[in-house]
């Protein structure tokens, strides 16, 4: 135990240097692990601390606190070599028009002159899932989100955040703002906490998948010249 404690102490020091945004895992017996969660399965997590890997049972974990806090946010700065601010702006507007059925309704801010920004609100449908024959109808609804594109000569930055689940089922309030909290940051009715925590993780994973798809689609589209920019027609 003394060897384990010494090794753990060393790893905590190393990890605090190696990771600016680390994960803290607090065990039920009071021990504290600091590192980076690399694998998350049904029953175990793998935590990397310095050069050491720990396999920890989830049933023994009191809580996992991510280094990130607040609302989920996905962002990327994308280089568009040779393109002016105006060209990128026009491509971004065309991208919005192609992705959303009514881009005028989606776009809340369209400001080329001041800061080259396009800011809009989108949404996607979240359909219920079944677990062991049980259907979670309370999860049916839409997830709204905020999408922003900031433009400069030769590059743009896309940010997707403020994912909010709104239930379509009468009497259900929805899961609200999606944050970096490991489990649903609210108290569920008696007997429902575990299923709410599981749904919460599904919501966050779905948000990540949708956000990354949007970012990659925007990168592909905006990186290519519009037909009106070319002279070969």
Cβ partners under 8 Å of residue 117, min gap 6? 109, 110, 111, 148, 149, 150, 151
Q: Which CATH class is domain 2-65?
A: mainly beta
H/E stretch holding 53: strand 52-57
- Answering whether pTM is above 0.75, one says no
Q: Which CATH architecture has domain 73-229?
A: 2-Layer Sandwich (3.30)
Cβ partners under 8 Å of residue 54, min gap 6? 33, 35, 46, 47, 48
What 3-state class would DSSP assign to 169? coil
CATH 3.30.530.80-classified regions of the chain: 73-229
Cβ partners under 8 Å of residue 61, min gap 6? 25, 26, 27, 28, 45
pLDDT tens per residue, range 28-79: 666 777 777 777 777 777 877 767 777 777 777 766 555 677 899 999 999 9
Distance of CA 129 to the CA centre of its chain: 20
For 78, 92, 218, 226, 233, the CA distances from 230, given in Å and listed in that order, are 22, 17, 20, 7, 7
pLDDT tens per residue, range 159-172: 999 999 988 776 66
> What is the model's pLDDT at position 191?
61
| Phi and psi at residue 16, to the nearest 5° | -65, -25
């Amino acid at each position: 135990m003394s060897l384990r404690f010494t090794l753990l102490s060393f790893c905590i020091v190393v990890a605090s240097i190696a990771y600016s945004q680390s994960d803290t895992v607090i065990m039920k017996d009071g021990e504290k692990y600091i590192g980076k969660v690399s694998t998350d399965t049904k029953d175990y997590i793998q935590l990397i601390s310095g050069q050491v890997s720990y396999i920890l049972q989830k049933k023994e974990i009191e809580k996992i606190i991510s280094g990130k806090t607040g609302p989920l946010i996905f962002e990327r700065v994308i280089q568009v070599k040779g393109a002016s601010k105006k060209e990128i702006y026009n491509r971004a507007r065309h991208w919005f028009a192609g992705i959303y059925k009514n881009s005028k309704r989606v776009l809340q801010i369209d400001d080329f002159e001041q800061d080259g920004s396009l800011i809009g609100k989108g949404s996607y449908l979240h359909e219920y899932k079944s677990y062991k024959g049980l259907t979670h109808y309370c999860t049916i609804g839409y997830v709204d989100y905020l999408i922003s594109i900031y433009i400069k000569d030769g590059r743009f930055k896309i940010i997707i955040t403020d994912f909010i689940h709104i239930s379509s089922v009468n009497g259900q309030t929805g899961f609200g703002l999606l944050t970096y909290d490991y489990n649903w940051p609210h108290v569920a009715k008696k007997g429902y906490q575990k299923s709410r925590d599981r749904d919460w993780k599904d919501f966050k994973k779905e948000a990540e998948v949708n956000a990354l798809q949007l970012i990659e689609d925007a990168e592909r589209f905006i990186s290519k010249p519009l037909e009106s920019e070319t002279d070969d027609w």
